[in-house]
Chains A and B, each alone.
Chain A
Amino acid sequence: MKISELGTEQGFRSLQSDYADRGLGGGYTSDLLSDVMANAKSEGVLVTIQAHKNTVAVASLIGIAAIVICNGRPVPDDMIEAARAEGVAVFHTDKSQFEVSGLLWPALGAGTEGAAPRA
């Protein structure tokens, strides 16, 4: 599944499209950025309600390719600006993290299953 398909296939609203479109390698769902830093994988999608510019900083630190902000949480402008500067895709949806994770699992679950968390 490519990053852009989060919009075209899943119907999530793209908030920031300055990114290199490429295949996603799995995903991680969490609202605690300390947990994301410890356990998310690079080149994956992050499913979260944590709409803050630090989410982008953590994503670029790890190499997370795309962020899906769930539950219709408002996304501050400085987060979108940071994502543009870092080339991280940002999508927005009214669906919950549970729903979004379920929707993405068939396409991305294989990249996540059995993957050991980063040390």
Chain B
Amino acid sequence: MRTRGVLADLHNHSCLSPCASLEMSPSLLARRARERGIEVLGLTDHNGALNCPAFAEACRREGIVPVFGLEACSLEEVHVLCLFGSAAAALAFGERLLGSLPRLPYDPEKLGDEVVVDADEGVLDLPDYYLGAALELGFDELCLAASGSGALVVPAHVDRPMFSVSSQLGFLPPGPYAAVEAMRDPDPSLRGGFAVVSGSDAHVPEHVGRRAFEVELDPEALAAGRSGGGAEFLAALGAALRKGAVLPSWARAGTAAGSPRAPGAA
């Protein structure tokens, strides 16, 4: 099957994340992503997936392939993207993580609002616990739990000076990763031989798409992802990542956006 290069951005926050802008609804995220040519879009709120149902509908309206995820924070304070093929799978994993979330005193005034919305920006719920805390779950255990639940596991911003494998753990431990995410071309000790993707880590609408990456995907898998076949799409995305069929943002600089990747290019 002939593949084509598509723009993907797997790391984005919505108004469920206490540190994200309140206007960052799943529908605005999807709209901005479509405007910026992104075809595969991930929602990864901190330690929670409660906005994934709204995100599913928002992506359907925009014709975008959704990836349902969350950005878990391990005991060591390492951020990990856990990406699923359906809102239900992401919600179930989020529910499981709640058992490991310490109930710290949470003051939305000081720490930021956490808002569960529908696809029309109607407020559904305001969780009364703080999602920004570190889970009582070690990094290795967390990665195994996520991959055991069918997630693609991607250590987030591995080269960031905070909340990353480099800052907290010095280098990347072996693990069941589909890829690693970095902000710039990372040191080999942080890639561990895995494919490197970039991610926008958007917390405000202006940042959507700022570090999108290009990935080679089968048009049939994309069609499946657009029409509810999320599990099939996730498998294809995982295979493309493991094959290294990606161009992170720094490698895309100078190439035309959306242009197919040259065969055999690293």
* Interface of A toward B, CB cutoff 8 Å: 31-34, 36-37, 50-54, 57-58, 73-74, 76, 78
Interface size, chain B (Cβ < 8 Å) = 14
- 16 of the cross-chain contacts (CB-CB < 8 Å) are A33-B167, A33-B170, A36-B170, A50-B76, A51-B138, A52-B138, A52-B140, A52-B173, A53-B140, A53-B173, A58-B170, A73-B75, A74-B138, A76-B138, A76-B141, A78-B140
**Cα-based distance from A15 to B69 in the complex (angstroms):** 37
Within B192-221, which residues are at the interface with A (CB < 8 Å)? none
Chain A neighbourhood of B171, CB < 8 A: 54, 57
**Cα-based distance from A32 to B140 in the complex (angstroms):** 17
B264 part of interface (Cβ distance < 8 Å): no
**Cα-based distance from A54 to B141 in the complex (angstroms):** 14
Q: By the criterion CB–CB under 8 Å, are A76 and B140 in contact?
A: yes
Chain A neighbourhood of B130, CB < 8 A: none
Known: A32-B167, A34-B168. 9 other contacts (CB 8 A): A34-B161, A34-B170, A50-B169, A52-B76, A52-B173, A57-B170, A57-B171, A76-B138, A76-B141
Chain B neighbourhood of A33, CB < 8 A: 167-170
- Knowing A52-B138, A52-B173, A76-B138 are in contact, say whether A34-B76 is a contact too (CB < 8 A): no
**Cα-based distance from A72 to B49 in the complex (angstroms):** 31
Q: By the criterion CB–CB under 8 Å, are B139 and A52 in contact?
A: yes
Give the distance to chain A from B172, nearest Cβ to Cβ, in Å.
9
**Cα-based distance from A50 to B173 in the complex (angstroms):** 14
Give the distance to chain A from B73, nearest Cβ to Cβ, in Å.
14
Q: By the criterion CB–CB under 8 Å, are A34 and B167 in contact?
A: yes
**Cα-based distance from A74 to B243 in the complex (angstroms):** 36
B21 part of interface (Cβ distance < 8 Å): no
Chain A neighbourhood of B161, CB < 8 A: 34
Q: By the criterion CB–CB under 8 Å, are B138 and A54 in contact?
A: no
